[in-house]
Amino acid sequence: MPEETMTPKERWLAVLQHEKPDRIPMDYWATGEATNKLMQHLGCENTQEMFERLHIDKVVSVGPKYIGPAPPPGEDIYGCRYQNVDYGTGVYSECVYHPLAEYETLDEIKRNYDRWPDPDWYDYSEIPNQIAGNEDYPIRGGGSEPFLIYKNLRGQEQAFMDLILHSEIVHFCLDKLFDLAYENTRRIYEQIPGKVMISYVAEDLGSQEGLLFSLEHIREFILPRMKRMMDLVHEAGAFVFHHSDGAVREIIPDMIEIGIDVLNPIQWRCKGMEREGLKRDFSDKLVFHGAMDNQYTLAFGSVEEVRQEALDNIRILGEGGGYILAPCHNIQAVSPPENIVAMYETGYENGWL
């Protein structure tokens, strides 16, 4: 192997600036169950040892500590309630109570719901300590994903119906949620000026076959608020990391126009998300992150199939730079550790530029 000449931070920054790193950086996303299985497989005592063993260029996340009013037992700060659901291949916390589901008008919500969090309910003073000792790693902080919260508040089916039936409720709630995310992000930047490298401005806009929303609704409800957040990110000297699952090819030009820098997760088995086309049409404007398939390859494929996919991603998305190798969402507990090791070993052995 060639000798590494960059730290993970330098490697990420080179790719984000469309410059040449020593090798393709590799990121890690996984559920806690999958991480524990992988550490046990490798004989690692902690995640740092695992990252070093697999040459993963980890991202360090920072954020404030919640010090506001304690919510009732079993609820989050919005009043949503969750329960663990075992699907046989992993346990997930699912929202089972939606506190705004019963209301039919905006006036009812304004009269009866008072659980909107205040940014003063968070202590940001600990953030400088969170980056101490992590000077060689990229720092992630701030960002937004408010429609995800809105779906928990109203229930997923009602949330999508609201786009047509109750647009005034959607606008009101998204403004509340975006305002909190914006101020949260601004205060994070204020604590560690110039230190945050990436902020996640996310929203799941795609299904397996196409967009979950109409283009009209995305442009009305989502994009203007996202642009406000992206402008803040860029003003702070950070890069916009946009996460959206599924088949989102149709909306990518809009996302580029409002300011995304990184597109994740590249679910290339979804309609229209073929890697060759994305690289051909958007490589001069975007960095690609992910593309290691979780739906089949990592979960159910052979070690050889994993290796071949990693090689394909390096060849297609990594050509000329602009690619960070990673799973195309959290690695699940069903994925054999041997497949995960194969992904990172192949990426490290073949990612030198």
Confidence (pLDDT) at 56 = 98
Taking a C-beta distance cutoff of 8 angstroms, is the pair 142, 199 a contact? yes
pTM of the model: 0.96
pLDDT confidence band for 91 (50 / 70 / 90): confident
- Say if residue 90's pLDDT is above 90: no
* CA angle at 200 for the pair 197 and 203, rounded to the nearest 5°: 165
Q: For the domain that residue 59 is a member of, what is the CATH number? A: 3.20.20.210
- Judge whether 3 lies within some domain: no
Confidence (pLDDT) at 1 = 81
Taking a C-beta distance cutoff of 8 angstroms, is the pair 254, 228 a contact? no
| Token reading at 18 | 């469309």
- Judge whether 132 lies within some domain: yes
SS3 content of the chain, % helix, strand, coil (to 5): 45, 15, 40
pLDDT confidence band for 84 (50 / 70 / 90): very high
Q: How many Å apart are CA 221 and CA 170, to the nearest integer?
A: 8
Which among 19, 18, 41 is positioned nearest to 30, based on CA atoms? Answer: 41
- Say if residue 187's pLDDT is above 90: yes
- Judge whether 1 lies within some domain: no
pLDDT of 257-291, one tens digit each? 999 999 999 999 999 999 999 999 999 999 999 99
Q: What strands lie across the sheet with 198-201, from one edge to the other?
A: 60-61, 139-144, 198-201, 239-243, 262-264, 287-292, 323-327
Look up residue 205 and give its amino acid. L
- Which residues 6+ apart lie within 8 Å of 135 measured at CB? 9
| Chain centroid to CA 17 | 20
Q: Please tell me whether residue 338 adopts helix, strand or coil conformation.
A: helix
Inter-CA distances, 139 with 120, 145, 175, 310, Å: 23, 19, 27, 25
Residue 232 belongs to what H/E stretch? helix 223-235
In the block, residue with structure tokens 């508040």:
153
Taking a C-beta distance cutoff of 8 angstroms, is the pair 337, 42 a contact? yes
- The half-sphere exposure of 212 on its side-chain side, counting CA atoms within 13 A, is 19
Q: Please tell me whether residue 305 adopts helix, strand or coil conformation.
A: helix
Confidence (pLDDT) at 58 = 96
Cβ atoms within 10 A of the Cβ of 48, count? 11
Mean pLDDT of 119-127: 98
Confidence (pLDDT) at 282 = 98
- Judge whether 195 lies within some domain: yes
- The half-sphere exposure of 57 on its side-chain side, counting CA atoms within 13 A, is 30
| Token reading at 293 | 């398939």
- Judge whether 213 lies within some domain: yes
Residue 7: DSSP 8-state: -
- The half-sphere exposure of 2 on its side-chain side, counting CA atoms within 13 A, is 13
Mean pLDDT of 54-82: 97
Confidence (pLDDT) at 7 = 98
| Token reading at 290 | 């992910």
- Which residues 6+ apart lie within 8 Å of 103 measured at CB? 109, 112, 113, 169
Mean pLDDT of 152-181: 98
Mean pLDDT of the chain: 97
- Judge whether 128 lies within some domain: yes
Domain hosting 236: range is 8-350
Residue 109 belongs to what H/E stretch? helix 106-112
- Judge whether 115 lies within some domain: yes
pLDDT of 192-248, one tens digit each? 999 999 999 999 999 999 999 999 999 999 999 999 999 999 999 999 999 999 999
The number of distinct structural domains making up the chain is 1
Higher pLDDT: 121 or 1? It is 121
pLDDT of 18-67, one tens digit each? 999 999 999 999 999 999 999 999 999 999 999 999 999 999 999 999 99
Cα dihedral 109, 110, 114, 119 sign: positive
- Which residues 6+ apart lie within 8 Å of 49 measured at CB? 39
